[in-house]
Every structure is written in C-alpha cells, then in structure tokens.
Structure 1
Amino acid sequence: MTELICHTDSYIRDFTAQVLVVQADQNLVVLDRTAFYPGGGGQPYDAGTLVVDEQTLTVSKVKRQGNDIVHQIEVEGEDALQLPQVGAEVTGYVDWERRYRLMRTHTALHILCGVVWRDYGAQVTGGNMEPLKGRMDFEFEALRQELVQEIEAKVNAEVESGRQVVVRNLPRAEAFEIPDLIRTKINLLPEGIEEVRTVEIVGLDLQADGGTHVANTREVGHIRIADYKSKGRINKRLHIELAP
C-alpha cells in the first residue's frame, strides 16, 4: 500500500521513497510513499519529476491502482528510458506551481459550496476543476444575475475573513454522525472505506473530501464568478476563476 503523504500535509513539495513495483512495458512505477495526488473528487492528478541515480524522470500522470499509487513516466522520442530498479531510492518533486493553484481552486470551491449550502440550502450535483478555474453545479430552480453577484460578494467575504482549513481522518461511523457531511446529491463514498478524511473551513463548511487544500482562506485570493448556466430545471452551474 502506498502512503499518500499529501493526505496529511498538502504543502510537501519533495520527498524520498523506495520503489516497490516497476511495470517496464507500460513505464509505470509504484512507490512506498508519495506526495503526488492521484486525482479524484474533481481534482486532477499531480505532475512533477522523480530523480534516481542522477537521472530525472518526468511524471506525466498519477492514478490509483487498488491500494497503490501508480506513477506514469513520460517517454519522449526514441531515447532509451532507464526505469529505476525495485528497491531503489528516489526523490520526488511535485510541480508546485500547478499543485498550489489546484489547492487554492479546490478550497475556493469549498467556500462556494459552504456559502450556497448555508444561505440557500442547495445541494451540489457535480463539479470539476483545473488550476485557477472550476465549476460547480447546484440544485437551484432559478439563478439570476443579482443572486450570482450576491453569492460572489459572500464568498469573497469568507476569503477575507481568514478562516482556517483543518484536515482530519475519522472512523467512518464517527464521520457519518456529522450532520450534512456529504453535500453531493449522491453519496460517493464506497461502503468499504473504514476511515473518512474530512476538510473543515472552520465556521463555514465541513465535508468528506480527499483532495489538497490551502491552510487559510486568505490564500485563495479573490474569487470571480465568471459565468453561470442552466443545466436543467433544478440544476444550475457556476464557473469560478482565481487570479494567478
């Protein structure tokens, strides 16, 4: 099982690890621990590099494979690629600029979700993100320009309030005693999960979540609702953008 370091500390940019598995035919490497986020919950996977024996390998994709985190090594041209041997020690470097932008974006979407749930009681029906951009769908019957402007003002007030963001891992039974922990229309947590990771924006929002986040809402910066659309009778989409 790969230890997912970023689940306990999203700010770790580099790490050392040992190679557990090498799938040479597919250029895949499994490590005993990693700070690369494998994607999920609407947040894309991380990119970066692995350094071993003075060779720098580009990590182009990261994904879950059972209990392991698999690192896809990029191959360019016809140059022979020397994958590390099982048991070798590697140093990983996360593409920090991209990761931090995703952290800010993910927390921004939780701020948006928290405000909409608190003030309008609307559930989330979907969402996605890329660095500095994201969208979230809510169960709104109607969404007008005036309401969108009101929501934008409220989310930016929460940004400026400097709320702490706290991550915890709770036993499943304890986590599900928390009211409204699951904000999505469908509970996406599989039955087999015994421990639930929660992300709390203190005083605003508390959700089950597996992604990476900033430690304080001020780090998010100004949130602009760039667009809004109707995706059905009671399904409305809000697009957000953040400053670089």
Structure 2
Amino acid sequence: MTDLLYQTDSYLQTFQAAVSGIDEANHAVILDRTAFYPGGGGQPYDRGTLRAGATTYPVSRAKKAGADVLHFVDENSPLPFPGDMVEGMLDWKRRYQLMRTHTAMHILCGTVFRDYGALVTGGDMDPLQGRMDFEFETMHRDLVDAIEQAINAEVQNARDVQVKILPRAEAFQIPDLIRTKINLLPEGIEQVRVVEIVGLDLQADGGTHVRNTSEVGHIRVTDYKSKGKINKRLYVQIED
C-alpha cells in the first residue's frame, strides 16, 4: 500500500521513498510513499522525476492501481530494484497550477451552491483552466457575469482551505457533503477526506489544494454552453 503524502501536505515538492515493487508490463515503479497525485476527481496526474543514485527517471504520469500508485518512467531506462531508495521530485510549476485550479473549481462549486442551490453534474480541469457542469435550467450572460463577480469576491476574501480525514460515519453527518449529482464515494471507503473552504464550501475530495483562496488568482468565466435541459456548462480560466 502506497502512503499518499499529498493527502496531508499538498505543498510537498520532494520526498524520500523506498521502491516496494516493479510493474514491468507498464514500466512503472511502485513506492512505499509518494507525493505524486495519481489523478482522479477531474484533477490530472502529476509529473516529475525519481532519482536513484546517479540515475534520474522522468515520471510521465502516476496512476492508482488498487492500494498502490504506479509511477510510469521512461521505457528506455533500466528499472530500479525493490528496496532501492529514491528521491521523488514533482514538476512543481504544473502541480501548483493544478492546486490553484482545483481550489478555483471548489470556489465556483461552493458559490453556485450557496447562491443558486445548483448541484454539480460533471467537471474537468487542466493547469489554469477547467469546466464545470451544473443543474441550471437556463444560463445567460448576466447570470454568468454575476457568478464571475461572486467567485472573485471569494478569492479576495482570502478564505483558509483546510483538509481533514474523517471516519466515514462522521463525514456523512455533514450536511451537503456530496455536491455532485451522483455520490462517487465507493461503499468500501472507511476514511473520507474532506476539504473545507472556511465559510464557503465543505465537501468530500481527494485532490490537492492551496492553503488560502487568495493564492488562486483572478478567475475568468470564458464561456458557457447548454449541455441539456437542466445541464449548463461553465468554462473558467485562472490568470497566471
């Protein structure tokens, strides 16, 4: 089982770990602990490097495989051996952009839920841009402008972002913990990670975030589309 360091420290850029296994079919390395986010919940996987002795392995992506995280390395590089110690280093520029983007999406989700009671029906993100779908019957420019103004007010409010890992029974006592139309948490998960933008948003989430909304930067709603009778999509971009 890979210890997921990013769950409690999103700002960890480098880390030491032991090689706990090798997946030769995927040319991937399994570590006993990692700061690489393996993707999920709309947030893409991390990239970076692993260094073992004098050898540096570019990590093109990370992926969850059961309780382990696979770190896919260059197919032309010889794989390290189980028990080897490695130093992991994230592509921090990309990761931090994704952290800002993910928190921006929670600001958007929390603001829309607070002001309009609309649930999320889907979403996706890349560094400094993303899209989110909501249960709206109608969407128009004035509404979009009002949402953009409201979400940037929350950036300026400099709200703290806190992460907790709670027993499932305790977590599900929180009202409106699941802000998506469909509950995506499998029944077998006993510990639930919750992310709170203090005073605005609180929901189950497995991704990485900044510590304060002021780190996000200005958010622009660049476009909107109808994706169905009660499904409207907003596109956002975060200014770097």
Deviations 1:60-100 (Å, cap 9, x if unpaired)? 1111111001111123xxxx522111100000000000000
What residue is the counterpart of 2:33 in the other structure? 33
Deviations 1:29-83 (Å, cap 9, x if unpaired)? 10000000000000000000000011110101111111001111123xxxx5221
What residue is the counterpart of 1:208 in the other structure? 204
What residue is the counterpart of 1:86 in the other structure? 82
Point out where structure 2 has 5 or more consecutive residues left out of the alignment: none
Alpha-carbon separation, structure 1, partners of 2:25 and 2:179: 41
What residue is the counterpart of 2:17 in the other structure? 17
Matched residue SS, 1:229: strand
Deviations 1:115-134 (Å, cap 9, x if unpaired)? 00000000000000000000
Matches within 5 A, 1:192-231: 192-231=188-227
Alpha-carbon separation, structure 2, partners of 1:163 and 1:26: 42
Alpha-carbon separation, structure 2, partners of 1:208 and 1:164: 17
Matched residue SS, 1:213: coil
The reply on whether 1:102 has 2:98 as its aligned counterpart is yes
The reply on whether 1:180 has 2:144 as its aligned counterpart is no
Structure 1 position 217, deviation (Å)? 0.2
Alpha-carbon separation, structure 2, partners of 1:24 and 1:161: 49
Alpha-carbon separation, structure 2, partners of 1:195 and 1:82: 37
Structure 1 position 26, deviation (Å)? 2.6
Deviations 1:118-176 (Å, cap 9, x if unpaired)? 00000000000000000000000001100000000000000000000000000000000
TM-score (normalizing by structure 1): 0.97
Alpha-carbon separation, structure 1, partners of 2:171 and 2:190: 10
Alpha-carbon separation, structure 1, partners of 2:221 and 2:194: 26
Alpha-carbon separation, structure 2, partners of 1:21 and 1:29: 6
Alpha-carbon separation, structure 2, partners of 1:160 and 1:203: 13
List, as ranges, runs of 4+ consecutive aligned residues in structure 1 with deviation greater than 6 Å. Answer: none
Alpha-carbon separation, structure 2, partners of 1:125 and 1:25: 36
TM-score (normalizing by structure 2): 0.99
Structure 1 position 23, deviation (Å)? 2.2
- Report the AA paired with residue 22 of structure 2: V
Structure 1 position 24, deviation (Å)? 2.7
Deviations 1:177-234 (Å, cap 9, x if unpaired)? 0000000000000000000000000000000000000000000000000000000010
Structure 1 position 7, deviation (Å)? 0.3
Alpha-carbon separation, structure 2, partners of 1:153 and 1:15: 39
Structure 1 position 110, deviation (Å)? 0.2
Matched residue SS, 2:189: coil
